[in-house]
Chains A and B, each alone.
Chain A
Amino acid sequence: MNAVRRGIRNAFRNAMRSVGVVVILAVAIALSISMLIARDAVTTKINTVRASTGNTITVSPKGFFGGQGGGTPLTTAQINDLLGLSNVTGVQESLSENLTTTETSLKSPTLAGFLGRQFGGSGAGVGGSSSSTTTFTIPVRVTGTNSPGNAVTGGANGGGSEKLTSGKSFSPTSNADVAIVGSTLASKNKLKVGSTFTAWSTKITVVGIFNASSTFTDSDVLMPLATVQKLAGASGEVTSATVVVNTIDNVASVDKAISKKLGSVADVTSTQATAEAQLAPLNSVKTISTYTLIGSVIGAAIILLLSMLMIVRERRREVGVLKALGAPNRSIIMQFIAESTTFTVLGAIVGFLGGILVSSPITSALVNASGGSTSTGVSGFVRRTGGSGFTGGGSGFTPPAGATGGGLRFGGLHSTVTQLHTSAGWSTLGFALIAAIIIAALGSTVATATIVRIRPAEVLRSE
Chain B
Amino acid sequence: MLKVENLDKTFNTGGGNVHAVQKVSFTANDGEVVAIIGASGSGKSTLLSLLGLLDSPDAGSIDIDGVQLANLDSSGQTKYRSTQVGFVFQQFNLIPNLSAKENVMLALEFAHWPKQDRSARAEAMLTMVGLGTDKADRRPAKLSGGEQQRVAIARAFSAQPKLILADEPTGSLDRSTGQKIVALLHEAATQQHATVLVVTHDEKIAQMADRRLEIEDGVLKEIA
Q: Chain A residues in contact with chain B, CB under 8 A?
A: 1-2, 6, 9-10, 13, 317-318, 321-328, 331, 455-457, 460-461, 463
Contacts and interface: CB of A to CB of B under 8 A. Distances in A.
Contacts of B106: 1, 322, 325
A460 B152 CA distance: 15
Contact of B110 (A317, A318, A326): A326
A461 B106 CA distance: 22
Given A325-B81, A326-B111, A456 B97 contact: no
Nearest to B105: A1
Interface of B: 45-46, 49, 52, 54-55, 75, 78-83, 85, 87, 89-91, 93, 95-98, 102, 105-107, 109-111, 155, 167-168
Given A2-B109, A455-B54, A457-B49, A326 B97 contact: no
A191 B74 CA distance: 98
B118 to A, nearest CB: 9
Given A318-B95, A325-B82, A460 B110 contact: no
A461 B102 contact: no
Q: Which 8 A-B pairs have the closest CB atoms?
A: A326-B82, A457-B54, A326-B81, A326-B110, A457-B55, A457-B49, A321-B93, A456-B54
A456 B97 CA distance: 20
Given A1-B102, A13-B97, A327 B55 contact: no
A460 B82 contact: no
Contacts of A457: 49, 54-55
Contacts of B89: 321, 460, 463
Contact of A324 (B81, B95, B97, B109): B81
Contacts of A6: 98
A327 B95 contact: no
Given A325-B87, A325-B110, A326-B82, 15 more contacts: A1-B98, A1-B109, A318-B95, A322-B110, A326-B79, A326-B83, A326-B107, A327-B82, A455-B55, A460-B45, A460-B49, A460-B54, A460-B89, A463-B167, A463-B168
Contacts of A321: 87, 89, 93, 95
29 contacts: A1-B98, A1-B102, A1-B109, A13-B96, A13-B97, A318-B93, A318-B95, A321-B87, A322-B95, A322-B106, A323-B78, A323-B81, A324-B52, A325-B81, A325-B82, A325-B87, A325-B106, A325-B107, A326-B80, A326-B81, A326-B82, A328-B110, A457-B54, A460-B49, A460-B89, A460-B93, A460-B167, A463-B90, A463-B167
Given A455-B54, A457-B54, A324 B110 contact: no
Given A1-B102, A324-B81, A326-B81, A463 B54 contact: no
A324 B87 contact: yes
A113 to B, nearest CB: 87
Contacts of A455: 54-55
B7 to A, nearest CB: 14
A317 B93 contact: yes
B140 to A, nearest CB: 12
Contacts of A327: 78, 82, 110
Nearest to A331: B110
B93 A326 contact: no
A166 B182 CA distance: 103
B30 to A, nearest CB: 20
A305 B148 CA distance: 33
A13 B98 CA distance: 10
A457 B51 CA distance: 11
A328 B52 CA distance: 15
A326 B78 CA distance: 5
Contacts of B95: 318, 321-322
A396 B75 CA distance: 91
A11 to B, nearest CB: 10
B143 to A, nearest CB: 17
Given A325-B110, A327-B110, A461 B45 contact: yes
Given A325-B107, A457-B49, A460-B49, A9 B97 contact: yes
Contacts of A322: 95, 106, 110
A456 B167 CA distance: 14
A229 B105 CA distance: 96
